[in-house]
Amino acid sequence: MLGSAACWRGYGELLAVQYSDPRRMGFHQVVVDAYAAQHPGDDDPRAVQSVAIHLMTLALFLERGVDPVLGTRLHKQMVARPAFHQLQRQDPSPGQALTFQHVPLNGDPDLARERAYEWARSVWASWEPHHEVVRRWLASSGLS
């Protein structure tokens, strides 16, 4: 994943809060997938696979209402898929992209969940030209 040191540090703070609250762990995978898809890395095969898998679970969470608690199990099924190819993210319009900072570190976990999903929808939208490709990957993984 590519990102600034400050961004990585802030994401780490959010993860620490997530791990310390069982109520937040119910949507933890949404946070992980949104961050990973927002910081896609380069053309290294591992980075390409990472983006593909995180986009696939975002699609399942956002379009099909799949429970994020199943994320790790879903990822294991997805990596069995033969090959992915690199996708180029569409840069969002200035001021329209949400980041991990949209998710509050303190307070009501329900608000944090709502904000995490808003952020995830923003990230998913930035990949809109590739939604059909991601859906085909899901189908080929037996997750359609």
Per-residue pLDDT of 130-142, as tens digits, reads 999 999 999 988 8
pLDDT reported for residue 2: 65
Neighbours of 74 (CB within 10 A): 21
Per-residue pLDDT of 67-126, as tens digits, reads 999 999 999 888 886 679 999 877 765 556 899 999 999 999 999 999 999 999 999 999
Per-residue pLDDT of 10-67, as tens digits, reads 999 999 999 999 999 999 999 999 999 998 888 898 999 999 999 999 999 999 999 9
pLDDT reported for residue 82: 65
pLDDT reported for residue 22: 95
